[in-house]
Amino acid sequence: MIYGIMKAVLGLEDGTYVRGRGFGVEGEISGELVFSTQMAGYMEALTDPSYFGQILLFTFPTIGNYGVDEKNFQHPRVWAEGCVAREICGSPEAGPSLPEYFRENGLSGIEGVDTRMLTIKTRLQGTLKCALVTGDDDGEYAVECARKVPEISDKDLIPAVSCREPYHVAGRGKRIAVIDLGMKKNITISLRKRDADMYVFPHDSSPDLIGSCRPDALFISNGPGDPLKARGAIQAVKELAGTLPIYGICMGNQICALALGAETYKMKFGHRGTNQPVRYKDGSIYITTQNHGFAVAGDTLPEGARILYSNVNDGTLEGFEEPYLDITTVQFHPEAHGGPLDTEIPFFDTMFRRLD
């Protein structure tokens, strides 16, 4: 196949469909259509397990300019179901192109569509289910497929992205037990920078198994889908809270809140990108990387819990602490270096200072 001539169509559950040029391989894929506002880091996003079950639309007009750089992958494989872009660079200056990588790895995407229109539609109507057909451009068929897609809250996505067995990443520092709900590589890097002795556990590990490594702290990772599906992790936090410090990032923030009896909800279209502003409790502003479609209802946190961060754009909760139980969480991704290092330093350095 010569790049750029394959037919493709993206159909939405509301009856909209857009035709474009397919890249990668022929086929049919489906999921939620979500958009990210990042200008770079497209492969970090595509390989983020939190995008499992979703087709990722990039709002930046051109994607793929610097090719595929595997050293920055957040997981060995692409987890997003597919890719939607205004324009894909087919001849980057370095590395294989995005179309080449998609074709070699059995992935599908579409370019040449009005991503601005699709983004505005999502902001107005909320996240829509969609289907991407490559190799054909039957819009009515794509819409029909989109309407058959299950709601993301009905999908149990976490088992596919979590590790299958516990494993150990040796270090000479504090012993950190990690519940892997789809952990990004940069979280491991940030913990290893501080010489953490990591014991990583599958999503459904029992509190007894987690406690058997005698950790100095428990860490809950990011992950895809509805946090209510992470029943094992919620139970682990419930039973271990108060016995050791607990930290969480992204879904980890939601899991800790649910374990304390708070509520989560599905957002209209979520926060995804590398330029999301959050306000710390002292009024200072940080630019953060985010990828979440669910949030914690701050007014449902128990007495004694305190909101640490809130989103500047919409006021949603971006992190909290429960000092009595020694729980600290953030909804954004400090390990992703959105600022580039502004939130990694206060989160991870503060975490390890408290453990000393």
- The verdict on whether omega for the bond into residue 340 sits within 30 degrees of 0, i.e. cis, is yes
Identify the CA nearest to 57 among candidates 2, 107, 122, 125. 122
Integer Cα distance of 146 and 126 in angstroms: 15
The residue written with tokens 């909804």 in the block is 331
Q: Which of 203, 271, 292, 333 is catalytic?
A: 333
CB distance 48 to 159 below 8 Å: no
Record the tokens describing residue 34, joined without a space: 């979500």
**DSSP 8-state symbol, 302:** P
Please identify which residue in the block is written with the tokens 């070699």: 104
**Helix or strand holding residue 258 (H, E):** helix 251-259
Q: Phi/psi at 121 (nearest 5 deg)?
A: -60, -40
Q: Name the active-site residue from 83, 250, 256, 322.
A: 250
C-beta of residue 318 within 8 angstroms of C-beta of residue 330: yes
Is 333 noted as a catalytic residue in this protein?
yes
335 annotated active-site = yes
Question: How many other CB atoms are found less than 10 A from the CB of residue 207?
Answer: 16
Catalytic one among 13, 81, 335, 344? Answer: 335
Residue 213 annotated among the catalytic residues of the structure: no
- Write the CB contacts of 147 (distance below 8 Å, at least 6 apart in sequence): 13, 129
Q: Which residues are catalytic?
A: 250, 333, 335
